[in-house]
Amino acid sequence: MSITRLADVIQPEVFTPYVVQRTMELSELIRSGIAENNEEFNRLASGPNKLVHLPYWSDLEGDPDVMLDSGQHTPGKIEAGEDVARKLAFVKGFGANGLSAYLSGDDPMRVIADRIAAYWERVYQKALISTLEGAFASGSMSDKVLDITEEDDPLLSGETFLDALQLMGDAKDLLTGVMMHSAVETYLAKRQLIEYVQESEQNPRVPYFLNKRVIVDDGMIYDSDAKEGVMYLFGRGAIAWGNGSHPNILQTELVRDGLSYSGEDVLMSRRIAILHPRGVKWLEENLREDPSQSGDSTNPTLPFPNFAALECGDNWQLEYEPKAVRIVKFVFSIDDSESGS
């Protein structure tokens, strides 16, 4: 009897780039334009260090002088700065038994790749949410947060959403997308504030809220008891996304466990990446398994951040001018007892 093994259907040198490509195709972050991926970010993610340095030039500042008929003008100078991103590294194995139902398909490599690509797309979105929670927990980001939950009018509406946009001042038109919990999307849809646009025949309709593309993710903060939620408003390219590789780390590896009773094939999938909010510097001060216990000698230091480390505000600091960071956090309440208009 012939038995199909993972090694019979997967060629790692073909499979790995296909999974990366499918992950990017599936990602709402990429399709919405919020995350930018290019060869430069991929090259930086593949470099030898755990930190990625992103130098930049500050904008030109200062008032001009009045032209005089004598004397000399003193020129200003352009300032340089440096943003810092942190590489992420994850690994996940999948046993052949969990995939066996799919191996009889017409194109088993595509089926397996799609399943794993969808998994990594969810992981990256979760990593981004943890990153944003940590970045906005930094005291340096207070000018980028609008929290109306303690105000006289704490409810999410078109008007209060515009107040959140106004945190960007005259750069508010740079914000083109918003990420929210599905319960918040439903709340807005009931009030006819969500417009669903059919952008292509192959894809489902895309939701828009006040002309901002909506990304729905139930990893977003939403307290169903307190009826309080969080939105992140984004501009195009606000997130730098790089897919890295290293010659000593096999991104796809097939492992055969011959000691198990029936034998088991395991597909090991590894990812090195940067997923960085541009303009918010990583500080690497609290890279511990439990960031809340940074001084505990029994608390191991991590080679790469876990989700808890990403969520620690001590690891982040605003680097750009606030308006140059194309992300805003909006904290609000909703009232389900209110009748929709």
pLDDT digits (tens, 9 = 90+) for 169-179: 999 999 999 99
Q: Where are the beta strands (DSSP E) in the chain?
A: 35-37, 51-57, 80-86, 88-95, 145-147, 175-180, 194-197, 206-209, 212-216, 222-223, 228-235, 239-244, 252-257, 264-277, 280-282, 316-318, 327-333
- Model pTM greater than 0.85? yes
- Greater confidence (55 vs 52) lies with 52
Q: How many CB atoms lie within 10 A of CB 312?
A: 23
Q: Which pLDDT score is estimated for 185?
A: 96
- In degrees and rounded to multiples of 5, residue 172 shows phi and psi of -65, -25
Mean of pLDDT values over 214-220: 95
Q: Pick the more confident residue, 202 or 118.
A: 118
Selection from 188, 243, 215 nearest residue 327 by Cα: 215
**Which pLDDT belongs to residue 288?**
77
The band of 202, judged by pLDDT with boundaries at 50, 70 and 90, is low
Distance CA 57, CA 78 (A): 7
The pLDDT of 267-291, averaged and rounded, is 90
| pLDDT score of 327 more than 60 | yes
State residue 259's pLDDT score: 61
Helix (H, G, I), strand (E, B) or coil at 221: coil
Mean pLDDT calculated for residue range 277-299: 83
| Domain positions in the chain | 7-55+81-333
The residue with greater pLDDT, 290 or 22, is 22
Position 64 confidence tier, pLDDT thresholds 50, 70, 90: confident
The residue-averaged pLDDT of 257-280 equals: 84
Return all residues near 336 (Cβ < 8 A) that are at least 6 apart.
187, 227
Q: Is the pLDDT of residue 92 over 50?
A: yes
- Looking at the predicted structure, is the pLDDT value of residue 160 above 60? yes
Q: Which of 13-17, 179-183, 285-289 has the lowest mean pLDDT?
A: 285-289
Q: What is the pLDDT of residue 333?
A: 97
Residue 98 has pLDDT above 70, yes or no: no
Query: Which of 49 and 201 is assigned the larger pLDDT?
Result: 49
Task: Looking at mean pLDDT, say which of 69-83, 153-167, 255-269 comes out highest.
Answer: 153-167
- 163 Cβ partners below 8 Å, 6+ apart? 146, 148
Return the pLDDT at 341.
41
